[in-house]
Every structure is written in C-alpha cells, then in structure tokens.
Amino acid sequence: MLEGGSSSDVVAKAVLKAVTSENPTLRYLAGNDVETWMKGKTSMSDEEFNKMMSKI
C-alpha cells in the first residue's frame, strides 16, 4: 500500500488546501490512489468496500 501511495508533498498540499479554504468540504482527496479507491467505493456496498480495503 505504501509503495503505490501518495507522496508526502501531495498530502501536504491537500492539507494546506483544507486548512486555508474559505468554504471547506468534508473530504479532500490526496492523490490518484485515494481517488481510485473512492471511485470504487461509489460502486460497492460498505461491506464490499471494507472487505476490499482489509485485503490491502
């Protein structure tokens, strides 16, 4: 999971955007890996998504 994960720079930029936003949102995605997981989550039940994530 760490090998394909987002770099610290990508995560830092997402955090900076979150803390400086005038209209913050609930979530800020940091990197392509997380964006891919979230796309998958929309097509699965919570149980299916949790099973997938527990295998990673």
pLDDT 10s digits, 20-32: 999 999 989 888 7
More confident residue, 34 or 28: 28
More confident residue, 5 or 41: 41
Mean pLDDT score, 36-53: 85
| Joined tokens for residue 22 | 């005038």
Q: Where are the beta strands (DSSP E) in the chain?
A: none
One-letter identity of residue 8: S
